[in-house]
Chains A and B, each alone.
Chain A
Amino acid sequence: MNLSKSQTNTLDISSPYISRLARIERVARVTEKERLFKIAIEDGKTLGHLPGQFIMLSIPGFGEAPISISSPPDKGNRFEICVRAVGNLTNALHNLTKRDRLWIRGPYGKGFPVQDIIGKDLLFIAGGIGLVPMRSLIKTVLNERSSYGRMNLFYGVKSPDEILFKDELLQWEKAGNINIQITTDKPHPEWKGHTGVVTTLLPPLKIDETKTAAIVVGPPVMYKYVILSLGDKRIAGHDIYLSLERRMKCGLGKCGHCQINSIYVCQEGPVFRLSDIRYLREAI
Chain B
Amino acid sequence: MTWTHRERIMAALNHEEPDRVPIDFGGAEFTTITLAGYEKLKKYMGVDTPTDVMSIIHTCAHPAEEILNRFDVDTRNVQPGPYEGGVDHWIDDNTYVDIFNVLWKRTEKAVDQHFLHQDGPFHGGKLTIDQVEEYDWPDGKNPGLVKGVRERVEQIKANGDHAVCLYLPGGVIHRGYAMRGFESYLKDLYKQPEALQRLMDKLCDFWCDTAESMIEAAGPENVDIIYFGEDLGTQDSCMFDPDTIYKEYLKPRHRRMVELVKGLTNNEAKVCYHCCGSAYQFIPHLLDIGVDALNPVQVTAKQMEPERLKEAFGDRLTFWGGINTQQTLPFGTPEEVVAETKRIINILGKGGGYILNSVHNIQAEVPPENIVAMFETGVAHRYH
Q: Do A and B come from one complex?
A: no
Report B's interface with A, CB cutoff 8 A. none
Report A's interface with B, CB cutoff 8 A. none
